[in-house]
Amino acid sequence: METVSVDRKRPQAADRLEDLVWAGAAVFARRGYRRTQMADVAREMRVSPGNLYNYVEGKDALFYLVLRWVFGERPGEEKLQLPVTGASVAVTAEWVQKRLDFVRDFPELEAAFVRRRPRDQRSEVEAIVGELYDVLARMRLGVDMIERSIEDLPELAMVFGAVRQELFARYERYLSQRAKAGTLRVSDPETVAHVIVELCRWAAGRRPIDPHAQGISDETARSSVCLFVADALVIEGKRSAGADTKRGRGR
């Protein structure tokens, strides 16, 4: 789980901040925003509800704190002051929109956009899919919280929907580029983009809580997804222009 930088206004005899985040994430992901009460989180932590107010002023602030913790922060972001106050749903939605920056979170995909043709198409696909898996695994709890709260928080739902749409569009763009270059076998880039994202979402996000898939390790899930996508899409035997030139020079 990621962490956030905080300043504490009140000294704590026993710091339970990380326990609070874990408990809040679990309850919000399980019950959604509307049905979660501060008492539910306190019960998950096995403390009295009053202890929570050393860290947050209420449920809105707790939701904001947990999302900042599990999504992680950008370098240079202003520290959170504890107890967290003034964190409305609108504030949370604005932060989520700024935080989910695909250029910085997906450097492999960004690099692929500027290459005309990859030197090794299979390696590129596996790197891009593995990167997506890693991001979704890292943000699993936050995504679970938001998806479970979609009907409760329309402002956040709108932001999250736009983020998902952009994510699908970026993978569709990549697939279209490589299909035109003749290195990937893609009949419908839009459909395949959705398949790849949802496959990684299951493997990285839902698999860990699926009782019928808990015997599958993270390493196995990640490598299997990467190989599956590469096997399905890569047209074997295609060399890049750079590779052909290099081979010709060696003759």
The pLDDT assigned to 22 comes to: 95
pLDDT tens, per residue, the chain with 251 residues: 555 666 555 545 458 999 999 999 999 999 999 999 999 999 999 999 999 999 999 999 999 999 999 998 877 888 889 999 999 999 999 999 999 888 889 999 999 999 999 999 999 999 999 999 999 999 999 999 999 999 999 999 999 999 999 999 999 999 999 999 999 999 999 999 999 999 999 999 999 999 999 899 999 999 999 999 999 999 987 544 444 434 343 43
What is the pTM assigned to this prediction? 0.86
**Same domain flag for 115 and 210:** yes
**Same domain flag for 189 and 111:** yes
**Same domain flag for 173 and 128:** yes
Q: Which residues contact 242 (CB under 8 A, 6 or more apart)?
A: 117, 119
**C-beta neighbour count of 187 within 10 angstroms:** 7
User: Considering the domain boundaries, does residue 28 fall inside one?
Assistant: yes
**Same domain flag for 160 and 202:** yes
User: Considering the domain boundaries, does residue 242 fall inside one?
Assistant: no
Instruction: Domain of residue 120: give its range.
Output: 102-236
